[in-house]
Amino acid sequence: MLESINKPYLMFLGDAPDQLAAKTAAGVAHWCPQDCLGQLRLAGCQADLGLPDMSIAAAAAQGAQTLIVGVANRGGRFSELWIDTLCEALQAGFDIASGLHNRLRAVPRLAETAQRCGRRLIDVRHPVSDFEVGTGRKRSGKRLLTVGTDCSVGKMYTSLALAQAMQKRQRAATFRATGQTGIFIVGSGVSVDAVVADFISGAVEELSPDNAADHWDLIEGQGSLFHPSFAGVSLGLLHGAQPDALIMCHEPTRTHMRGLPDYPLPDLADCIAANETAAHLTNPAARVIGIAMNTAALDAAAAQILLSETGARFGMPCVDPVRTGVAPLVDALE
């Protein structure tokens, strides 16, 4: 079942030890600032989203529906210190949505308070597991999937930037979230890496149902076919997505697969070929139509040269969604 989260949000930062611990919350505040009424910080919090500091009562008065736990302690777990505040939010009429590894539902005080108050505890990393097995049935509408040479190379950012750019051009386009930050941003989606393995492709089929012939789903990719830890997730996602178009995402200065010093990055050409070949199982027309690089580690001149050279080498647009925008990718879709 797809998660669905009511907006607007109060962003809970807890006692985050630094800005990085609030990375998820920062992503949400960046992509849907209009949905984030304020931030709630406990004593000692070292993160700041640049949103108004706001009490639960004040946020409730402004109509906030959900408290987003967009912060991680060590190990992605939450702190005992937060529970009083979370209970107070439930009592004030908020749902709580969390992207942490441990479950809100597993904390007895939270579970009891939520039940008593008739509010929801939404653990987006623990999807309610009633997905169907994938069918491979061809669906109507168009689909684009971002894939990558590695984890954390800009797949979500690229998908969201494409959605924004296409919507500006009045194209029918919907971002489809497959990870916690994306789910908070659009208020629905499925955390595919947390689905039971048998249902990976089925969950993605449900995420991206039949649609109008000219409508594009922009599906957030996860992992990489070349990441030994997560390639199964990436392949199931690729088959379930049935993409017509793929964007290859890449971080050009990375020297090894994320978390695995002994595994080098794949060659970009090999990675493009492997994704196209695998995608053809459920959509024989699937094609990589562009490349999105995260060139933050390069200076502007070096980045421009790399983007141009890579685009020429592969005969397709190559952009940095942050530096150059994604207009050439949207052009390529049209």
Residue numbers at the binding site for a second copy (CB under 8 A): 133-137, 192-198, 200-202, 225-226, 228-237, 239, 259-260, 262-263, 274, 277-278, 281-282
Q: How far apart are CA 79 and CA 237, in angstroms?
A: 32
- Paired strand residues for 175: 218
Least distance from C-beta 160 to a second copy, angstroms?
A: 22
Least distance from C-beta 262 to a second copy, angstroms?
A: 7
Least distance from C-beta 75 to a second copy, angstroms?
A: 13
CB-wise, 57 or 285, nearer to a second copy?
285
Phi, psi values for residue 297, rounded to 5°:
-85, -5
CB-wise, 110 or 271, nearer to a second copy?
271
Q: How far apart are CA 240 and CA 205, in angstroms?
A: 5
Token pair for residue 77? 């777990």
Token pair for residue 307? 């983007």
CB-wise, 101 or 323, nearer to a second copy?
101
Q: How far apart are CA 209 and CA 275, in angstroms?
A: 22
Write down the residue that tokens 């200065």 correspond to: 253
CB-wise, 109 or 280, nearer to a second copy?
280
CB-wise, 150 or 320, nearer to a second copy?
150
User: Cβ contacts of residue 267 below 8 Å, gap of 6+?
Assistant: none
Q: How far apart are CA 122 and CA 89, in angstroms?
A: 14
CB-wise, 43 or 138, nearer to a second copy?
138
| DSSP H or E run through 278 | helix 268-279
Least distance from C-beta 320 to a second copy, angstroms?
A: 28
Least distance from C-beta 91 to a second copy, angstroms?
A: 30
How distant, in Å, are the alpha carbons of 73, 88, 202, 253, 259 from that of 152?
20, 35, 24, 13, 11
Least distance from C-beta 241 to a second copy, angstroms?
A: 11
